[in-house]
Structure 1
């Protein structure tokens, strides 16, 4: 039993060593409750060194009572009321144009209280940091805004979409930032604040313990998701599913009940 525990811990520690800021679960933990880190990110991407954040959340869920809710990697509001959704995506389809459109629309839908005027809608930015250059333009940053085709003028609806090329490298702040997002070793990072937070979750005992808990929760969630799919398929008995996935029979039965609640 002790050997099994030690082997599991060793496997978790090896996994933590491989984490980068491009891994959204790790990124969310590094930026959690850290306005200074989020401001650094926005200063560089927005090219506004005076931007100040007054509210920020990671893994922030916006409910949609009649449609699909969304969970945002980072949600922030600056001191003049502009709203930002920052998403890290390693898979191209996760940063699809309609995903950006939907995130933008859900932020808008939750920005006005009943009776308020549409002119009160805040300026919003949906920002995708992608591992690859999904726009294939060899640019560091791509700005997407609505324009009037016939005149070429801006539609000026103050809804902006930005794609940041995670593969971009040079000695500018954005090139260095994207290097840091891909870096496993905090000692090789350019930005001290990001290096310090990364080092905390990779080397400090408390930080490593927090990351181990997150990984274990993710593994447990994935196991339950697969077990639920097998329950729906009906190919295995509940006792067999419990055995193969290391769950108790009570946990499997709770999953079975949950599928009827969700359906």
Structure 2
């Protein structure tokens, strides 16, 4: 199987949302998980969310945007894109793990069992025919 970029200028970055480091990324993850803007650490994020949640015209605007997304099917497209990204990430992880296990000396049947796959799939991932 050959993997090529989509050339759609869209990039995915996978970040562990449970990360709690004492750095900008940790603060961002903290703020993403806040249900109350008052608990946010990053000032710009806190002020933006406060504006969106407390200003009546901003709330109406957000509701209108969400309704348009649903009506136009774009929300479904976004969800499908996220799902595709998750599946691609899982596939890439399985391929990487298969290579690592093979390099460690495990047999194809053991690798297939460890990855809950079949031997033919593992052979394809390892380019073994």
What's the TM-score, normalizing by structure 2? 0.46
Q: Larger strand proportion, structure 1 or 2?
A: 1
Between Structure 1 and Structure 2, the one with more helix by share is 2
TM-score by length of 1: 0.27
Structure showing greater relative contact order (alpha-carbon pairs closer than 8 Å, 6 or more residues apart) = 1
